[in-house]
Structure 1
Amino acid sequence: MKLASLKHGRDGKLIVVSRDLKQAVEVSDIAPTLQVALDNWSDSAPALEKRYQALNDGQCTDAFSFDPAACASPLPRAYQWADGSAYVNHVELVRKARGAEVPESFWTDPLMYQGMSDGFLAPHDDIELCDEAWGCDFEAEIAVITDDVPMASSAEQSAKHIKLLMLVNDVSLRNLIPAELAKGFGFFQSKPASAFSPVAVTPDELGDVWQNNKVHLPLEVNLNDKLFGAPNAGVDMTFDFSQLVAHVAKSRHVAAGTIVGSGTVSNLDRSKGSCCLAERRMLEIIEHGEAKTPFMKYGDKIEIDMHDSKGDSIFGKISQTVVPYTR
């Protein structure tokens, strides 16, 4: 099943989207928003699935053409956005460039921070930037959305609460990060609003590429219409999504509509490219002694997508341009 939210008020208007991303239908009679659907998932999911099948079978007379540019992020705002760093080789690379070792605990206990969730960027919204000197970077990731997860759920139990998947552009302001982390209190100003793919999909929609709670497909990143990277999201993922959700739930009940991110997708095989500028810059520092790739400037365009074995987009494309913020 594929779901999206049209831009409408603060929380969007829920629609069901056809498998080929060409048609859609409103489902306000089932749930007005995705959050409402998640709050009542055991009742709403079967009804939404039935409408989804009817749409794919051409039986919805009120269907209309699907336009990703008319969409907000599937959850335009969320009660919780927790982003992990499941690809520890990425963390190891970043630390290596500054001569630091990765603590052993990083391989057994996921890194995670709680990000801004009171308003996400739409998948085709501009990235408004106050100052180019802040070092604007993209981070291409995958995220899951849960229903209610009881506190202290195991990874096996947590897997059953993963209801939807999306792509993410976790926007980062790299030059603000060092001073923030030096305070010992984590990210804040350096992590502005993220954007998610136009469509969220249920795990069953992925077929056999959803294995061991990982998505085994390349995550494709294009910067200014040139391929920047396409690492496989199922390779070198130290912590799968069930482990990440269990990490969030260790000491708290997790509410329906919680989003949990994978962190920047990264492969040890560097020929696959990177999913963020920081990783490429670190590779340049290791090889050349200095970074040569600049951070994003005004006018730069970033696109993030994932295709199935037939070459069709699964989630729809994130497509954003960096622009100056004008108050």
Structure 2
Amino acid sequence: MKLASYADGSRDGHLVVVSRDLTQAHYATGIATRLQQVLDDWGFIAPQLEDLAVQLNHGKLRHAFNFEPDKCLAPLPRAYGWAVVDAGGGVRREAGSFASPHQPLRAAACCEPALAAIAGDLAAASDAAAALDALRLLGFAIDWRIDGELIATQAAPVVVTPDELGDAWAAGRLQARLHALHNGAKQVPSDVAAAPGEALARLARLRALRAGQVAGVALGALDLSLAPGDSLHLDLKTAAGTSLFGAIDLDIAPPAP
């Protein structure tokens, strides 16, 4: 299933189920109103949302509506933690606050994309196999840094259960391509591979993780020269070109007059 959080004036937004092709949505009212509720009681709530997703994908919900990504907050705006694990196993712990996929930046910054793995409860010292069992949802996020200092973390509008990834998901690994448009100009897509179970196990090496912890698997900094007034469109897609999590669209504030 695919889930998103529509802005409704609250800090956490209102949970919606999104169709597989990212065109339709339906409020999850009556099952859960925010994503953290689902993570806290996954075994009971997730099957109900799965049933709703099946009906949505088959066009059987009368009150379905067009999915509009620009109405989304981050799927989990206030996570219990956000930490990025790099290719060498190093861990960079950050605050657990995620900006919406369309929130502008006030200054040009370095772009560091990551696969975001949202866990359920995970015991300390769990191995990668146990961490995969605790994996609940996957998403796409970007850290923005100036001189090494984090200024914002943005999240794509949709998170998905691994079974929704199709051929892009095999043996606990995501295989995808990162597509970018810089000021409307297409950049060469880059192939990415990520193992979220290993990242979650790395975070749980010394302490237990609680439902709502997010582990980022670093996908490598983008080699782009950004400037005030620029725009950037980023999307993780399958080899066939299908968007997995919806796009992050960013505008950098223009220079002051």
Pair 1:124 & 2:102 matched: yes
Residue matched to 1:113: 92
Per-residue deviation, residues 217-248 of structure 1 (Å, max 9, x unmatched): 111122212233422112xx5xx211110111
- Name the % identity: 34
Residue matched to 1:288: none
Q: Let me know the Cα RMSD of the aligned residues.
A: 1.8
Residue matched to 2:206: 251
Q: Indicate conservation of the 8 Å contact 2:182/2:232, yes or no.
A: yes
**Structure with the higher fraction of residues in helix conformation:** 1
Structure 1: stretches of 5+ with no match in the other structure: 87-105, 178-189, 266-274, 278-292
Amino acid at match of 1:247: R
Amino acid at match of 1:112: V
Q: Which runs of 4+ in 1 moved over 4 A?
A: none
1:202 to 161, 167, 173: 161
Once the two structures are superposed, the pairs formed by residues 127-138 of structure 1 within 5 Å of their partners are 127-129=105-107, 136-138=109-111
**Structure with the higher fraction of residues in strand conformation:** 2
Deviation at 1:325, TM superposition (A): 10
Once the two structures are superposed, the pairs formed by residues 158-173 of structure 1 within 5 Å of their partners are 158-173=131-146
Residue matched to 1:96: none
Once the two structures are superposed, the pairs formed by residues 55-66 of structure 1 within 5 Å of their partners are 55-66=56-67
Per-residue deviation, residues 21-76 of structure 1 (Å, max 9, x unmatched): 11100012111100111111111110000000000111111111100000001101
- The 1:84–1:324 alpha-carbon spacing in structure 2 relative to 1, beyond 3 Å, is farther
Work out the CA distance in 1 between the residues paired with 2:197 and 2:248: 25
Work out the CA distance in 2 between the residues paired with 1:161 and 1:128: 37
Q: Indicate conservation of the 8 Å contact 2:175/2:238, yes or no.
A: no
Q: Which has the larger radius of gyration?
A: 1
Q: Indicate conservation of the 8 Å contact 2:179/2:235, yes or no.
A: yes
Structure 2: stretches of 5+ with no match in the other structure: none
TM-score after normalising by structure 2: 0.93
Work out the CA distance in 2 between the residues paired with 1:79 and 1:309: 32
Q: Indicate conservation of the 8 Å contact 1:221/1:228, yes or no.
A: yes
- The 1:128–1:120 alpha-carbon spacing in structure 2 relative to 1, beyond 3 Å, is farther
Work out the CA distance in 2 between the residues paired with 1:216 and 1:205: 13
Per-residue deviation, residues 181-232 of structure 1 (Å, max 9, x unmatched): xxxxxxxxx1122111110011001123212322111111222122334221
Q: Indicate conservation of the 8 Å contact 1:121/1:194, yes or no.
A: yes
Per-residue deviation, residues 258-288 of structure 1 (Å, max 9, x unmatched): 11111134xxxxxxxxx513xxxxxxxxxxx
TM-score after normalising by structure 1: 0.74
Q: Indicate conservation of the 8 Å contact 2:113/2:222, yes or no.
A: yes
Work out the CA distance in 2 between the residues paired with 1:325 and 1:30: 46
Work out the CA distance in 2 between the residues paired with 1:318 and 1:58: 27
Report how many aligned residue pairs link the two structures: 255
1:219 to 167, 172, 178: 178
Per-residue deviation, residues 116-147 of structure 1 (Å, max 9, x unmatched): 22x32100111223xx5xxx111222111111
